A and B are shown apart, each in its own frame.
Chain A
Amino acid sequence: MTKKSSLHTVVLKTITAFRPMTVLTVITIIGAIVAALFPPLILERIVNNLTAGQPIAFLLALSYLGLLALSGLLESGQNIMITKFGQKITHGLRGEMCTKLQNLPAAYFTANEPGKITSRFVNDVDAVDAMFTNGIISMFADAFKVLSILAVIFYKSTGLGLLMLLIIPLMFALTRLFQQRMLTSQLANRVAISKVNNHVPETIRNIRMIHTLFRQQYMEQQYDAYIDESYRATDKSNLYDSIYSPIVIFFSAAIIALMMVLAAMGGSMQQFFGLSVGTAVAIIAYVGKIFEPLESIGMEIQNIQAAVAGIRRINEFLQETPSQHPDSVHTHPEPTVNAQPALCFEQVSFRYDDDTPVFSDLSFTVASGEAVTFIGRTGAGKSTIFRLALGLYHPDAGRVLINGVAAAIIPAAKKRALFGYVEQSFHLVAGTVAEQISLFDPDISRQQVETAARLVGLHESIVAFPDGYDTPGEKAAFSQGQFQLLAIARAVVAAPQILLLDEITANLDSATERRVLEALKRASQGRTVISISHRLQEYTQNHRMIEIGDHR
C-alpha cells in the first residue's frame, strides 16, 4: 500500500494495459472528425456550379453521399470504441475497489452501511462510465471537431474566423457558469439517491416491526422525504440543462445572420467577409456543425458533472486508510505450535475510535485444548475479545497472540485451519447451500461439506431440498435453529484448531436448542473452545469462566 490509487491511476493502468485498443479508439475518432469536414465542401462546389449556371455531374452528387456514408461509418466506429473503452475503465475501477475491500479495517464495515458502500460500487461507478462514454472522450472528439471546423472557416473567410474566435470564449464562459450551477444540485441528488437506496432493504429487513407498530405511513413519509430531496435537486439541474442548448442554437443563428449582413455590405467589408454564394451555403453548414459539438459538450458537461461527485466519493473510498498492523513492527519469532497457548492476551488495552476504553491492561491465557467461557455485563467487551482474537481489530497496547503469533499478521490462507467462528446470527452468502458451508473454498470437498452437515444434523434436511446441496441459499427453507446449525457447520468444515462461539441471538425452541447444543458438543471435540454465552448453560458447565470488565 505504498502508492495510493485513485480513478486517475486506474485510467492510466487501463490505457497501458489495452494499448492497441486505445490507439484504435484515437484513430477512429480522428477519422470521424476529418471525414465530417468534407461534405460541406462538396456542397460549396455544387452551389457554385449552380450559380454559374453549370450542370451537376451525377458523380459529384454521388461523392456527396459517399463522404456522408464514410463519415457516418466512422462515427459508428467511434461509438463502438468509446463504449468498449469506457467499459474497460469501469471494469478496472470496480476491480480496484473490490481489492480495496480487503485492505479496509473491519471498523469500516461497522461505520458504513452496506447499502451506501454498494451505492459507490454501483451508482457512482455507473456515473463514471457515463462520464467516459458520453463525457470526456466524446468531449475531446467534439473539441477537436470545433477546432478543425474553425480552421476551415478561417481558410474560407478570415473575418468570420475572427468573429468565431470572439464568440467561442464567450460560449465557454457560459458553459462554465452552467457547470458550476449544476454541480451543486448533482451532489445533493447523489446524497439523496443513496438514502433512497438504503431505505428499501432496511424496510424489507424490519417489515415485522413496521407492521406490528403500524408504521407503514411513517416509513412512507420517510421514503417520500428522501425522494423529494432527490426530486428538487434533479429539477434544478434539469432547468439549467433545458436552457443551455437553446441558448447555444440562438447564438449560432445570430452568427449566421451577422455573417450574411456583413457579406452583403460590399465595399471594404467585401474584402474581409466576402463570400461566394456557394461558400455561404458551406459556411451555414459549418456554423451549424461547430455549434453541434459545442451543444454536445453541454450535454457531456452534465454527465461529467454527475460523475464528479461520484469520482470524489470513489477516490475517498480508494484512499480510505487501510488497516494498520501495529503488531508487525515487533513481530514475534515463528511459533512453536504446541508449546504456546492457543490464545494469549498480554496487557491488552483497546478502545473503539474516540470512545471510552473497552478494557485496559487485560491479560489472560487459554491453553491449547482448553474450554473457556467469558462472562460479564453487557458492553463489558466480550465480543471485542473475539474481534481482537480474529485479527479484525488491533489492540492499542499490549499483544494478542494466537499460538504465539500476533493475531493481526496471521495470513488469510491459514485462518480457516486455525479458527472456526460461530457468529451471533448466521450470515447468508450469495451461493448454494453447500457454499454456505464451504464459503466457496475449492479446497473443501463436497465430502467434507457433507461430513460437517452430518455432524450438526442437517444432512437429511438438506438432501430433502429440491436440488439438495445445490439449492440456492436464499431458496432453502431453513428455520432459525437450522441456520444456527449451518453456522456451526461452516465453522468446523475445515477442521479448525480453535472454535469461537459467540452468544447466539436467535431464540430457539427447546428441541432445536438441544440439537444445537449437541451439535456444539460434537463440534468441540478435540478443539480449544472459547465461548461467550448466557444461554446454553448446560453446554458451558464444564468450562473455565473468565469474567470481564467488572472493575469498571
Chain B
Amino acid sequence: MSQGRPIKNVTNPDRIGSYFRLEAGPLLLVTVSGLLYNLGMLAGPYFEGQLVQRLFDIINGNKTFASMVTLALTYLAVILIVQVMRAIKRFYVRRFANNTSRNMRHMLYNSLVNMSKVELEQEDLGAVMTKAIADVDACVEGMRKFTTEIFDTGVVLVAYLGLLFFYDWRLAMLASLFTPLAYLIAGGLKTRITRYNAEYKKSAGRLNNATMDRISNAVTYRIYGREQNRDQAYEAHLQDYEQRAVLANLWENTMQPLYNIISMCGAVLVIYFGARNVQGSGWTSWDIAAFTTFLSAFTKMALKSSKAAKLFNAVQKAQVSWQRIKPLMKAYVVPNTNTTLDFSRPPQLEVTDVSLRWPGSTWSLNAISFSAAPGQIIGVTGAVAGGKSTLGKAFIGEVPYQGSIRVGDRELSELSAYERSRLIAYLGHEPELMSCSIAENIRLGKQESIAAVLETVCLDQEIAQMPQGAATSVGSGGIRLSGGQQARTALARTLYNAGPILILDDPFSAVDRRTEQAIFRNLRRLAKGKIVLLISHRLYLFPDLDRVLFLDNGSGIFSTHAALLKENNAYARLYRAQMAGGEQHD
C-alpha cells in the first residue's frame, strides 16, 4: 500500500503503551534529535551572554574586532545544528502521531467490521462515530503533545536547572522556589479542566448527533413542515456548545500566563542578587555574560515550567478520549479461512426438527423439517403466524436454532463463519448498498465479469442507458437508484457471490410483477446445480417451484404446490386470494 510504511496491526490494542512500542523507530529519532536539540537550547542564552560580554570588552578596548567575528560565527554554526535537530524532532513526532492515528483507526475499524449486527444495534450509531473518529484525533494529539513535552519541557527543565546551579546554586535555589508553586496550582486545577473538558466533549457529541439527524432526516422534516422547529432545536444545541466550549477553553488556555507570572517572581530575585554578584557584593563573582545568561536561562525555564501545565492538560484530554476508545479496541481479528470442506461438490440440505425463537420473543417455529437437493428451488411462505424471515436468518447465524440443519455432511452451527459464507448466500430486505458504483457494489473487490448477473436481474439494459454505465455511483445507501434498481443490484451482488445455497428473503418486493417473472426465469437458468430457498409472501411464482415449505401456526408443511393446493385449506385460500387480487396489476 503506502511505500514502506504499511499500516500495522497492534497487539494488545487496548493498552496505550502498545502504540508507543509500535513506533519505536520514529520515537528513537525523536529521542536522539530531541535530546540534542534541547541540550543545544542552552547554547542560545550562553552565546548571547558571551556576545554581550565581548561587545562590552571591545568597547572598553580589551578585545579585538576579529574575536567578535569568530564568536558570532561559532554561535551561528551551533544554532544551525540545533535547529536541524529541531526540524528532525518536529517531523518525526508528527510522523509518530500520524502513524498512531492510522493504526488506531485501523484497529477500531477492524473491531467494528467484525461486530455482529446484533452487537451493533445495541450501540448508538452517532456515538460510535464520534468515538471512532473524533476521539482518535484528540487522543493522538494528546500523545503527540506528551511526547513533545517530555523533551521540550522535561529535558530542557533539567538542563536549564543544571546551568543555573552551575552559575550560582544559592540564587538558583531561591529563584526556583516559585516554580513548584506553579506546579501545585496546575495540579489543583487539573480536575476542573478535565471536568469542563468532558462536558464540552459531551456537548460536542450531542451537537454532532443533532447535525446528523437534521441532515439525514431533512426530507422527512420537510414533508411534515417541521424544518423551522428543528432549526430552533439545533440553535439550542449550538448555544449549549458555545457556552461549554468557551468555558473549557477558558480554563485550559488562560491559566498558562498565570503560572508564568508565578514562576517569574523569581526573576526579581535574580536581578537583585545577580546585580550584587556582578558588583562583587553577592554570593559569587559574576561578569556581565554570567548575569545575562543566568537571567535569560531563568526566563526560558520559567516559561517552560508554565508549559508543564499544558503537558498535564494534553495528557488529561488524551485520557478522556482514550477511555472512550479503549473498550472498542479489541485484538486484531484476521478472518479465519481455514477449511477442510470440498466446495466443488454441491451439498444437500437437510433440515430436521428445527425450532426457532427470537431472543426475547415468545413467538417460535417448531419442528420444521425439509430437505433440498442441488438444482431445486424451494418456496417458503406462511399464512397467519409467519416466521419466514426468522427461518432465513437461522441460516446466517442470526437466530439460534434447536434441532439439526445439515449442509452436506456438516452441521450448520458447527461451520465457521467463513465456511457458512462460502456455502450460503443470503439476501434480506435491505439492499445494503455501499456508496460506490454499481459495478463495485456487485464485485466488492472481486474481478470477474458482472455482465451475466446484470442480465439475470434484468438490469443490463437500464445500466446501458446510464451515461456512466455500471460505473454509475449509487449514492449513499443506493439513494440515486430507484427502489427496484436497488433491490436488483443487491440481488445481482448476491448471485455474483453465490455459493451452492441461496437464501432469498423476498427479493422482489420492490420489483413489479413482469420484471419479477423475467428474473425468476433467468434465476432458474443461473441457479442450475444450486439450492434456492425463495422466501416470499407472494405466491404466483410458487406453481413453478420444486417444493414448498408452508409455515402455518408455528409448524411447517413440506410438500409441492400442487399437493398443498389440494390438501391444505389455509394454503389454498391464501393462494386463491392473491390470484384474484393480484390480477388487476398487470
Q: Is the Cβ of A430 less than 8 Å from the Cβ of B219? A: no
Q: Is the Cβ of B260 less than 8 Å from the Cβ of A211? A: no
Q: Which of these binds chain B: A167-175, A251-259, A306-314, A332-340?
A: A251-259
Residue of B nearest to A63 (CB): B268
From 222 to 261 in chain A, residues with beta carbon under 8 angstroms from any chain B beta carbon are 223-225, 227-228, 231-232, 234-235, 238-239, 241-243, 245-247, 249-250, 253-254, 256-258, 260-261
Q: Is the Cβ of A257 less than 8 Å from the Cβ of B72? A: yes
Count of chain A residues with a beta carbon within 8 Å of a chain B beta carbon: 157
Q: Is the Cβ of B80 less than 8 Å from the Cβ of A250? A: yes
B106 contacts which of A197, A227, A241, A505 (Cβ < 8 Å)? Answer: A227
From 53 to 73 in chain B, residues with beta carbon under 8 angstroms from any chain A beta carbon are 54-56, 58-59, 65, 68-69, 71-73
A260 contacts which of B54, B124, B292 (Cβ < 8 Å)? Answer: B54
Q: Is the Cβ of B117 less than 8 Å from the Cβ of A196? A: no
Q: Which residues of A contact B223 (CB under 8 A)?
A: 390, 392, 415, 419, 421
Q: Which of these binds chain A: B156-164, B312-320, B506-514, B520-528?
A: B506-514
Q: Which residues of B contact A64 (CB under 8 A)?
A: 267-268, 271
Q: Is the Cβ of A275 less than 8 Å from the Cβ of B90? A: no
A530 to chain B, nearest CB (A): 14
B229 contacts which of A225, A246, A424, A440 (Cβ < 8 Å)? Answer: A440
B530 to chain A, nearest CB (A): 16
The answer to whether residues A114 and B216 also contact, given A214-B417, A538-B581 and a CB cut-off of 8 A, is: yes
Q: How far is B1's CA from A121's CA once the two chains are assembled, in angstroms?
A: 31
A509 contacts which of B254, B386, B485, B584 (Cβ < 8 Å)? Answer: B386
Q: How far is B224's CA from A219's CA once the two chains are assembled, in angstroms?
A: 37
The answer to whether residues A377 and B514 also contact, given A228-B2, A507-B509 and a CB cut-off of 8 A, is: yes
Q: Which residues of A contact B295 (CB under 8 A)?
A: 43
Q: Is the Cβ of B261 less than 8 Å from the Cβ of A69? A: yes
Q: How far is B229's CA from A412's CA once the two chains are assembled, in angstroms?
A: 11
Q: Which residues of A contact B95 (CB under 8 A)?
A: 235, 238
Q: Which of these binds chain A: B187-195, B206-214, B401-409?
A: B206-214
A430 contacts which of B102, B209, B465, B482 (Cβ < 8 Å)? Answer: B209
Q: Is the Cβ of B115 less than 8 Å from the Cβ of A207? A: yes
Q: B382 an interface residue at 8 Å Cβ cutoff?
A: yes
The answer to whether residues A65 and B253 also contact, given A87-B246, A102-B228, A537-B582 and a CB cut-off of 8 A, is: no
From 232 to 261 in chain B, residues with beta carbon under 8 angstroms from any chain A beta carbon are 233-235, 238-239, 241-242, 245-246, 249-250, 253-254, 256-258, 260-261
A433 to chain B, nearest CB (A): 15
Q: Which residues of A contact B575 (CB under 8 A)?
A: none
Q: Which residues of A contact B88 (CB under 8 A)?
A: 242
Q: Chain A interface secondary structure, helix, strand, loop or mixed?
A: helix
Q: Which of these binds chain B: A4-12, A262-270, A362-370, A519-527?
A: A262-270
The answer to whether residues A238 and B120 also contact, given A265-B65, A537-B578 and a CB cut-off of 8 A, is: no
Q: Which of these binds chain A: B342-350, B421-429, B448-456?
A: B421-429
Q: Is the Cβ of B91 less than 8 Å from the Cβ of A200? A: no
Residue of B nearest to A265 (CB): B65
Q: Is the Cβ of A200 less than 8 Å from the Cβ of B509? A: no
Q: How far is B120's CA from A93's CA once the two chains are assembled, in angstroms?
A: 34
Q: Which of these binds chain A: B15-23, B125-133, B557-565?
A: B125-133
The answer to whether residues A242 and B476 also contact, given A200-B132, A204-B112, A213-B421 and a CB cut-off of 8 A, is: no
Q: Which of these binds chain A: B165-173, B272-280, B367-375?
A: B272-280
Q: Which of these binds chain B: A105-113, A150-158, A457-465?
A: A105-113
Q: How far is B79's CA from A249's CA once the two chains are assembled, in angstroms?
A: 8
From 87 to 138 in chain B, residues with beta carbon under 8 angstroms from any chain A beta carbon are 87-88, 90-91, 94-95, 98, 101-102, 105-106, 109-110, 112-117, 120, 124-126, 128-129, 132-133
Q: A271 an interface residue at 8 Å Cβ cutoff?
A: no
Q: How far is B69's CA from A27's CA once the two chains are assembled, in angstroms?
A: 44
A69 contacts which of B73, B84, B113, B264 (Cβ < 8 Å)? Answer: B264
Count of chain B residues with a beta carbon within 8 Å of a chain A beta carbon: 171
Q: Which residues of B contact A537 (CB under 8 A)?
A: 578, 581-582, 585
Q: A351 an interface residue at 8 Å Cβ cutoff?
A: no
Q: Which residues of A contact B52 (CB under 8 A)?
A: 47, 277, 280-281, 284
The answer to whether residues A220 and B105 also contact, given A80-B250, A242-B90 and a CB cut-off of 8 A, is: no
Q: How far is B365's CA from A354's CA once the two chains are assembled, in angstroms?
A: 51
B25 to chain A, nearest CB (A): 15
The answer to whether residues A55 and B55 also contact, given A121-B215, A206-B433, A441-B226 and a CB cut-off of 8 A, is: no
Q: A84 an interface residue at 8 Å Cβ cutoff?
A: yes
Q: A423 an interface residue at 8 Å Cβ cutoff?
A: yes
Q: Is the Cβ of A113 less than 8 Å from the Cβ of B476? A: yes
B51 contacts which of A46, A118, A228, A256 (Cβ < 8 Å)? Answer: A256
A271 to chain B, nearest CB (A): 14
From 89 to 130 in chain A, residues with beta carbon under 8 angstroms from any chain B beta carbon are 90-91, 94-95, 98-99, 101-102, 104, 106, 109-111, 113-115, 117-118, 121-122
Q: A375 an interface residue at 8 Å Cβ cutoff?
A: yes
Residue of A nearest to B131 (CB): A200
Interface string of B320-343 (1 = CB under 8 A from A): 000000000000010100000000
A487 to chain B, nearest CB (A): 10
Residue of B nearest to A411 (CB): B225
Q: Is the Cβ of A76 less than 8 Å from the Cβ of B228? A: no
Q: B291 an interface residue at 8 Å Cβ cutoff?
A: yes
Q: B357 an interface residue at 8 Å Cβ cutoff?
A: no
From 361 to 403 in chain B, residues with beta carbon under 8 angstroms from any chain A beta carbon are 382-389, 396, 398
Q: How far is B212's CA from A76's CA once the two chains are assembled, in angstroms?
A: 36
Q: Is the Cβ of A511 less than 8 Å from the Cβ of B87? A: no
Residue of B nearest to A53 (CB): B279
Q: Is the Cβ of B120 less than 8 Å from the Cβ of A76? A: no
Residue of B nearest to A504 (CB): B509
Q: A331 an interface residue at 8 Å Cβ cutoff?
A: no
Q: A2 an interface residue at 8 Å Cβ cutoff?
A: no
Q: B4 an interface residue at 8 Å Cβ cutoff?
A: no
Q: B46 an interface residue at 8 Å Cβ cutoff?
A: no
A511 contacts which of B55, B288, B384 (Cβ < 8 Å)? Answer: B384
Q: A413 an interface residue at 8 Å Cβ cutoff?
A: yes
Q: Which residues of A contact B418 (CB under 8 A)?
A: 214
Q: Is the Cβ of A217 less than 8 Å from the Cβ of B335? A: yes
Interface string of B456-485 (1 = CB under 8 A from A): 000000100100000000011101101111
Q: Which residues of B contact A113 (CB under 8 A)?
A: 435, 475-476
Q: Is the Cβ of B382 less than 8 Å from the Cβ of A440? A: no
A208 contacts which of B68, B106, B432, B479 (Cβ < 8 Å)? Answer: B432
Q: Is the Cβ of B220 less than 8 Å from the Cβ of A241? A: no
From 18 to 59 in chain A, residues with beta carbon under 8 angstroms from any chain B beta carbon are 43, 46-47, 49-51, 53, 55-56, 58
Q: B265 an interface residue at 8 Å Cβ cutoff?
A: yes
Q: Is the Cβ of A213 less than 8 Å from the Cβ of B272? A: no
The answer to whether residues A200 and B129 also contact, given A111-B475, A277-B52, A379-B462 and a CB cut-off of 8 A, is: yes
Q: How far is B286's CA from A115's CA once the two chains are assembled, in angstroms?
A: 66
Q: Which residues of B contact A260 (CB under 8 A)?
A: 51, 54-55, 68, 71-72
Q: B222 an interface residue at 8 Å Cβ cutoff?
A: yes
B480 contacts which of A87, A111, A203, A247 (Cβ < 8 Å)? Answer: A111
From 422 to 438 in chain A, residues with beta carbon under 8 angstroms from any chain B beta carbon are 423-424, 427, 429-430
Q: B217 an interface residue at 8 Å Cβ cutoff?
A: yes
Q: Is the Cβ of B224 less than 8 Å from the Cβ of A534? A: no
A-B contact pairs, 30 of them (CB 8 A): A51-B288, A53-B279, A65-B264, A65-B268, A73-B257, A73-B261, A122-B211, A203-B109, A206-B432, A207-B120, A209-B432, A210-B113, A220-B113, A223-B113, A231-B5, A242-B90, A242-B94, A243-B90, A260-B54, A264-B54, A377-B515, A378-B512, A411-B225, A416-B224, A429-B213, A439-B220, A505-B483, A510-B386, A511-B384, A534-B512
Q: Name the 4 nearest CB pairs between A and B, nearest first.
A: A509-B386, A378-B484, A415-B225, A412-B225
- Supply 19 further A-B pairs (C-beta < 8 A) apart from A208-B428, A260-B68: A46-B271, A109-B215, A197-B129, A197-B133, A213-B493, A228-B2, A232-B2, A239-B91, A241-B90, A246-B86, A249-B86, A258-B72, A266-B58, A378-B485, A439-B220, A490-B224, A503-B510, A510-B385, A537-B585
